[in-house]
């Protein structure tokens, strides 16, 4: 928040501020989806729907899960709501009793600990290491599970690192979970389809079918389909869990937007060329980022396998002097100095649970990205020892 305010002040002074901090695709909504939304308005299909969404959409989601993820869910084991975020929150509210522990691999999406707190739970972090590609290993999971552990959140692919758990990774984690029958799993798969190098994110239930009755899968159309503002997410889980989520949603968001549901139906039914074209574009930008960061003194990174973020190790700048003359002690200092000296906005690593790092997002066109990477390099050449 402080950095956003600082960026706004610089802009107001007429400074050229370049933001590599966004968390949403820069491509617009796919045309068939947008047109289906407009057609719904013209037809007058603009009324409340069932709390769990249109039956036709739940059926299309069941088909998608079968076709792309190899898991079978009935339409009444699926619910649709206004974005995946509210489904993650209501799933936590449905599952947690006061002081239940939730395991969250770090680095993590900033909302998880806040949502867990909202649902009266307690976050317990599991540290990951760059040398393991920021993935938890089966022994890390085993060691973290305690008597109060109720749930594991698995964000696959991960924001902010882009780490992917493959089918084999999940099968190995599944073996650990098989020994702990009281631990449920919430999988957040919102960055599915934005995967690179042919590395495919696995699905926990497909890899470990015996976990089906305690797994809640959450996904949505925001990132893979560029439908962020339409607000459309979905969850699949055994009926008793879906029923509680629906009961909570019925007193909160109620039904998701009818218009967005028709758009989502079209997006899921359309040829997936749009999705694949964007995936390739992000992969090309990822390559630009990896090459530039690797050549920037003081910075290092593990090449992201997916999504549109690079989680950059800036430990080489810590304790050193920024061009402003200030010593940089934390990644928040790094973020402030980059903004002040170069007008470059990135997100410091501290809120993601691993420092000193920063998250650089590449949801900007290649020319803007190249400009941002040039600013980063120029800053690096001006960092001194004293």
| Binding residues vs ligand PLP (CB under 6 A) | 23, 83-85, 109, 155, 159, 188, 190, 220, 222, 228, 233
Smaller CB separation from ligand PLP, 155 or 215? 155
Residue nearest to ligand PLP (CB): 83
The least CB distance from residue 220 to ligand PLP, in Å, is 4
The least CB distance from residue 153 to ligand PLP, in Å, is 10
The least CB distance from residue 342 to ligand PLP, in Å, is 25
Smaller CB separation from ligand PLP, 189 or 331? 189
Smaller CB separation from ligand PLP, 90 or 222? 222
Contacts (Cβ under 8 Å, ≥6 apart) of 373: 288, 289, 292, 293, 296
The least CB distance from residue 317 to ligand PLP, in Å, is 26
The least CB distance from residue 146 to ligand PLP, in Å, is 25
Smaller CB separation from ligand PLP, 296 or 306? 306
Question: Which residues does residue 217 pair with via DSSP β-bridges, in sequence order?
Answer: 187, 236
Smaller CB separation from ligand PLP, 228 or 315? 228
Smaller CB separation from ligand PLP, 228 or 272? 228
The least CB distance from residue 232 to ligand PLP, in Å, is 7
The least CB distance from residue 110 to ligand PLP, in Å, is 9
Smaller CB separation from ligand PLP, 85 or 285? 85
Structure tokens at 294: 């690797």
Smaller CB separation from ligand PLP, 264 or 369? 264
The least CB distance from residue 5 to ligand PLP, in Å, is 21
């Amino acid at each position: 928040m402080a950095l956003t305010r600082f960026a706004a002040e610089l802009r107001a002074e007429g400074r050229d501020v370049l933001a590599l901090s966004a968390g949403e695709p820069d491509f617009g909504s796919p045309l068939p989806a947008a047109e289906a939304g407009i057609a719904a308005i013209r037809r007058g299909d603009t009324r409340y729907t069932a709390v769990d969404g249109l039956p036709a959409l739940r059926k299309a989601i069941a088909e998608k899960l079968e076709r792309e993820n190899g898991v079978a869910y009935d339409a009444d084991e699926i619910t649709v709501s206004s974005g995946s975020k509210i489904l993650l929150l209501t799933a936590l509210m449905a599952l947690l009793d006061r002081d239940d522990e939730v395991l969250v691999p770090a680095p993590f999406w900033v909302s998880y600990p806040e949502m867990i707190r909202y649902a009266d739970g307690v976050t317990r972090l599991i540290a990951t290491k760059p040398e393991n590609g920021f993935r938890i290993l089966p022994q890390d999971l085993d060691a973290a599970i305690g008597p109060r552990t109720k749930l594991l959140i698995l964000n696959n692919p991960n924001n902010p690192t882009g780490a992917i758990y493959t089918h084999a990774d999940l099968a190995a984690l599944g073996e650990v979970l098989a020994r702990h029958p009281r631990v449920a799993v919430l999988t957040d798969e919102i960055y599915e389809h934005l995967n690179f190098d042919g590395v495919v994110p696995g699905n926990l239930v497909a890899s470990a079918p015996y976990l089906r009755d305690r797994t809640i899968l959450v996904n949505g159309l925001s990132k893979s389909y560029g439908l962020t503002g339409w607000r459309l997410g979905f969850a699949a889980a055994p009926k008793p869990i879906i029923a509680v989520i629906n009961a909570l949603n019925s007193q909160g968001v109620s039904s998701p937007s009818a218009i967005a549901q028709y758009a989502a139906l079209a997006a899921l039914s359309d040829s997936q060329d749009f999705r694949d074209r964007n995936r390739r574009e992000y992969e090309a930008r990822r390559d630009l980022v990896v090459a530039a960061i690797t050549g920037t003194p003081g910075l290092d990174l593990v090449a992201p396998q997916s999504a549109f973020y690079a989680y950059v190790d800036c430990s080489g700048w810590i304790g050193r002097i920024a061009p402003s003359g200030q010593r940089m002690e934390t990644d928040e200092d790094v973020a402030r100095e980059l903004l002040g000296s170069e007008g470059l906005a990135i997100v410091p690593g501290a809120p993601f649970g691993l420092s000193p790092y920063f998250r650089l997002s590449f949801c900007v066109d290649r020319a803007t990205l190249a400009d941002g990477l040039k600013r980063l390099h120029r800053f690096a050449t001006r960092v001194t020892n004293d």
